[in-house]
Structure 1
């Protein structure tokens, strides 16, 4: 049972409220539709239920508010617009990454691809999907956690008739197995045909709350659908003749040269057009009871997508930039379900026939994931009391999620490759000049560069960790998961440090090998203090990666992370040198020995060398600037997280 009570959006200036005191219920085992034209407040109402929009009111999901649900993705499946994700990520990679966020096995991704009919496109990039395939992927994403409730915003908008019929069949199956389905639409015929319960919104207020039978009898009106290149002229003619005949006729202009004439019939409209020489491309009578039509097209038998073409869907013309569906269209309401692979059908059949332990109903089209009945279906019965638990707002498996996020896009491999190539080229060129130390050549760090190429690559990888999270949000807040969580931050720090160590090691070995290959083994020897050099070099790359990560997390953009990395040697280090310029009256000599005596009398002697190396590294301008920058960015990240309302 989904209960929305008193939903009221926040007023913005002098504009009317987008949602004004809306209260309704969506019962399990039924498909509930929020009906209304664009701007009626349906989308805002859904976002308010999920806590994505400010306002007043309470929404209960089976008696619990969303922030009280331990695993939101296993209670509510959400599809708001297109699938969020990096366009270069593959379909299978996107789902496997979200499996780690939801906390289900990675094999769940392949099962869902079979069920929604995308098995053949598992290697396809997200940016190349058509609208129909993108919508199928969105449904698979919403069903990953086997949720009880599905919330969808305009799910059939722009779809071809076949895809729309498949989608509505899947939503009906979810409701038949005890789930709750709530979605918005602007098509009254679709609402009357597909819904069990219709909630009508107009200008943000609830105007009707009816079952489907009552809605079909009272709400939709018969109309004459006309398409003509002279729509404005024909509208004037029809209104003028209706006034002359003292008949009540309403003419509504629609995009694409279409008119909807209420209170007239095809004969009167056609005769008026003929007398005044108006060319008609289409003239059809459309009934408002939304029953499947068996007559000719002129009698409104188009069913789904009636009077819609390729780029247009059941909710009007496609907006600029919206994906299009190149799949075949249909002209009848009783189009059969699209054929999918045999493995998909077998998977769906096996799923439906397999009851879940501890649950009163069988899952819809989702294989069991071994979880408790907390997030399962109720089969239409009242849910048993569930103990309140603290909500898990971060990914269930953050390290696995971050590894799949970083490895799932080409930018990671490209950044590493460019960093290594630039490092090798710089090392070979620097070694040719007289007076250049071997350590400088190995690091490929000339004075003209603020940082070596490997450190810059590590910083860019760190900046992308949070930059891509906000630019292409894989962690959608509609699923109850947000990026600003300590668990996810620690996972990102760990994975970024690993990538930085890998970059530093690969760059050092590649530079050393290239120098020995080009100039010979006699010209390039291993330095005697190589352990200290390796530790310093690795710490520099890890520090750059962390600086980019934290800055991108604070400012929510990749460019800010890269700028923070470059600011360490360019801005922070000179400022620290200027602040501490002058002769020192006290020395830090002997600090490692005094620390050893203070902390542990039997500290191994080699530790003195390590502590001295750390002290010398920190005392360097770039090292001190890096430590200061990381401390400031960490505090800023924690403070901005609290200010933005992230629950730690």
Structure 2
């Protein structure tokens, strides 16, 4: 059960809110359509339900708001906007990553690909999928955790008739298992065909809440669908007979062989075709469009002969009589409510033109804020119930999305879902080997800098830059291609995901650094022999310094991309450490110290709860020496600042109730 109560978006300057006091429900076992013209607030309403848009109101999913649900991904399946994922990632890898986010087995990805009928495309890139296949994949992602509720924004947009039939069949199958389905559309015919209940909104406000059968009867015009090879001749015949009988008949040519006849029935059209010897291949009653009597569908082309002055006069007479009948129904409902103590203001009444088959639904809006459809059902609470004229509903800001349930598995699927780490490693090893050979040829750099391929004019060695790039991609890629849900605007912020990203990126950085060292050694030995490669007397401290530099650059990239929400900003923060921070640190360290720091290792041993052996003193001393170097100090300070900024911008709650 989905219950949306008093949804109201944040007011705009000099303009009303996009969604204004919207209240309705989507029942389990039922497919509900949220119908409205483009710009009527359908997408904003869905974002308010998912707490992705600031505003007022509350939405209950089986009696709980979304932020109270322990695992939202298993409660609500969402389709907002385009397919969530990097276009370079394969269909199967993307679904496996989402499986780790939802906490379901990875085998669920193959199962859902079979369900939506794209198992043969599992190794295709997301960017190569057609529009129809993208929609199938998006539905597989929404159904991945077997949610109870589906929220889909324009799921049938740009789909063929066959694909739409399949889509609505899948939605009805989900509803038949007890799930609730809510989808938005701006096509009244599709809403009537694909939904069990239709909620109509206009300018962000509720217009009607009806069963699909009542909606089709009161809001859609019945028509006769005719398919004939002589469409123009049949249109001329029907137009002449309508003028002779002074009947209101409208004929719309939808294609070369198909006509839609409004204001008639199958018997009349068939008899006219028989009398005039016109061959007919198809003749069926269908539900037409939701426009006025003189409107045609977007793909339709009106036939001028069918629109006669007599038909216009007849339609006007029917409209006038329909106004009288509609006003009589409103007055009757007003009298019934008045007997129950409910006053209806005359200025709040809205009357639609047309008779029983009118394209618009007559409804009444009470002055106290309640609005009822054709059935007179009360849907919105009265604003007079609270002092400020609004329901006493919570006010919420944009909420951070929860992290994946299996963060390490999620991060591994994210990293290795594309060729980026392999390509980065190959480029780093090649550039590092070439730089090491050039440094060995000139002999101007020490052995350690030569093997690290770190000349004096470079701010960082190639391996450190590659590690920073992989770290910047950790969050930057997700901000560019949201992975857990489309159009959510943020990525997960839990500590488990941060720890997984830091661990995976540091491991990749150390691996790239080790491969770069091996590649540099092999390249220098191959070109110059063993002369430049003298065995170092102390290799532990240089190795620890190298590992600390690589891991620190990777961590700086992760934290900076999370704070600044961009891969480029994360990589720039990594490069800013040697370019901007190191000179400042070097200037500070160059100042003479008033007190010596001798004996610091012994003092650390005294304050430490764990007693390490005397042999570990040199390792501690080596670590302290690395931290007191300009690059090490700058990197440590940068990591501390970025971690504090990450905690301030990301980990704090942004929900205000």
Q: In structure 2, how many angstroms separate the alpha carbons of the residues matched to 1:157 and 1:483?
A: 29
Change (3 A) 1:88 1:628: same
Question: Distance in 2 between the 1:185 and 1:148 partners?
Answer: 21
SS class of match (1:209): strand
SS of aligned partner of 1:431: helix
CA RMSD of aligned residues (A): 3.3
Alignment of structure 1 residues 221-232 onto 2, 5 Å:
221-222=221-222
For 1:496, the equivalent position in structure 2 comes to 505
* Secondary structure class of the residue paired with 2:47: helix
Name the residue aligned to 2:30: 30
Match of 2:84 in 1: 84
State the alpha-carbon separation in 2 of the partners of residues 446 and 20 from structure 1: 63
**Pair 302,212 (structure 1): closer, same or farther in 2 beyond 3 Å:** closer
Distance in 1 between residues matched to 2:263 and 2:7, nearest whole Å: 30
The structure with the largest alpha-carbon Rg is 2
Q: In 1, are the aligned partners of 2:153 and 2:183 still within 8 Å (CA)?
A: yes
Does residue 158 (structure 1) correspond to residue 158 (structure 2)? The answer is: yes
Q: Does 1:183 align with 2:183?
A: yes
Is 1:40 aligned to 2:25, yes or no?
Answer: no
Does the alignment pair 1:285 with 2:294?
no
Residues in 1 aligned to 2:285 and 2:610: alpha-carbon distance in whole angstroms: 92
**Contact 2:224–2:286, Cα closer than 8 Å, also in 1:** no
Cα deviation for residue 47 of structure 1 reads 1.0
C-alpha displacement of 1:163: 1.2
- Which residue, 427, 437, 443 being the options, matches 2:436? 427
Q: Distance in 2 between matches of 1:145 and 1:315?
A: 38
Question: Which residue does the alignment assign to 1:240?
Answer: none
Residues 401 and 493 in structure 2, CA contact (< 8 A), matched pair in contact too? no
CA distance in 1, matches of 2:623, 2:299: 66
User: Which residue matches 1:370?
Assistant: none
**Equivalence for 2:376:** none
State the alpha-carbon separation in 2 of the partners of residues 58 and 85 from structure 1: 29
Residue among 606, 614, 619 paired with 2:615:
606
Match of 2:407 in 1: 398
Residue aligning to 1:208: 208
Query: Cα distance 1:41–1:435, how it changes in 2: closer, same or farther (>3 A)?
Result: closer
Q: Offset at 1:526?
A: 2.4
1:141 maps to 141
The SS at the match of 1:445 is: coil
Instruction: Describe the shift of the 1:30–1:612 C-alpha distance in structure 2 as closer, same or farther (beyond 3 A).
Output: same
In 2, the alpha carbon distance for the partners of 1:627 and 1:304 equals: 69
Aligned twin of 1:195? 195
Q: TM-score, normalised by structure 2?
A: 0.74
In the TM superposition, 1:210-609 aligns within 5 A as 210-222=210-222, 264-266=249-251, 284-285=259-260, 393-476=402-485, 482-599=491-608, 603-609=612-618
Give the stretch that moved more between structures: 178-187 or 601-610.
601-610
> Shift of residue 415 of structure 1?
1.1
Matches within 5 A, 1:7-26: 7-26=7-26
**TM superposition shift of 1:416:** 1.3
Alpha carbons 2:482, 2:491 under 8 Å: kept? no
5+ residue gaps, structure 1, are 226-244, 249-262, 271-278, 307-313, 318-390
- Structure 2 gaps, min length 5: 226-243, 271-278, 291-296, 301-399
Taking structure 1 as the reference length, what is the TM-score of the superposition? Answer: 0.75
Alpha-carbon distance in 2 for matches of 1:646, 1:564: 29
Rounded to whole Å, the distance in 2 between the matches of 1:561 and 1:201 is 43
Q: Work out the CA distance in 1 between the residues paired with 2:148 and 2:609.
A: 58
Q: Which moved more, 1:513-522 or 1:54-63?
A: 513-522
Q: Deviations 1:568-608 (Å, cap 9, x if unpaired)?
A: 00000111222343222322233223323443796322211
User: How far, CA to CA, are the matches of 2:528 and 2:18 in structure 1?
Assistant: 72
Aligned residues: 523
Task: Look up the match of 2:61.
Answer: 61
* Residues 63 and 399 of structure 1: CA distance in aligned 2, closer, same or farther (over 3 Å): same
Distance 1:284 1:298, change over 3 A: farther
How far, CA to CA, are the matches of 1:110 and 1:559 in structure 2? 35
What secondary structure is seen at the aligned counterpart in 1 of 2:460? coil
Shift of 1:404: 0.7
Deviation string, structure 1 residues 352-375 (Cα, Å, up to 9, x no partner): xxxxxxxxxxxxxxxxxxxxxxxx
